[in-house]
Amino acid sequence: MESASEPAARVFFALVPPQPLRQALASLGREIAQRAHGRAVAAENLHVTVAFVGAWPLSGLSQWIDAGARCAARPMHVTLDALGGFRRAGVAWLGASVPPLPLLELGRCLNAELAGAGIADARPFHPHLTLARKCRGPLPRESVGPYEWDVDALALMQSHADVAGVRYVVLRRWRLT
């Protein structure tokens, strides 16, 4: 949806763990990255992507702000307890062996909003938190933790890439009530 003359932002909807949990997850990520010969994701970048929009014109972000407001519904308790990986992408992740129903409903709602805007993501929603990237070794498949948190907010985030790496900025946050 990016035009040649209009600046775009790479955006996505996510759940962001509280700081103490992000630190614990970053420690797990460093361990997994070492085992899988990859690079750990920085603590400040840890999140669960609920829906990926991609590059979108800055002038059109209000569409996603409205979508977030429509979809943000119930708070939920998330338990991350299963390590896995996407071999082709070289990604090691931590997921929920039993994703809570409100999380699945949130994913369905946001994916319906994406489809309504002509953005079709053919992949099924697989809630996970990326721990390590560029993994070249064996990817984990085991139970860990559990790492738990009471999710009370949905965020619209923007990805910024530069020579120092990638960082994510919260553009808007909705309380789950």
pLDDT tens digits for range 142-175:
899 899 999 999 999 998 887 777 889 999 999 9
CATH of region 8-175 = 3.90.1140.10
Residue (of 123, 118, 94) closest to 107 by Cα position: 123
Instruction: Identify the pLDDT of residue 162.
Output: 77
Residue 61 φ/ψ, nearest 5 degrees: -65, -25
- Grade residue 2 by pLDDT with cuts at 50, 70 and 90: very low
- 146 preceded by cis ω (within 30°)? yes
Least reliable range by pLDDT among 3-12, 14-23, 69-78, 145-154:
3-12
Q: What are the residue ranges spanned by the domains of the chain?
A: 8-175
Instruction: Identify the pLDDT of residue 123.
Output: 63
Contacts of 139 (CB under 8 A, 6+ apart): 36, 84, 85, 86, 87, 92
**Total number of residues shown for the chain:** 177
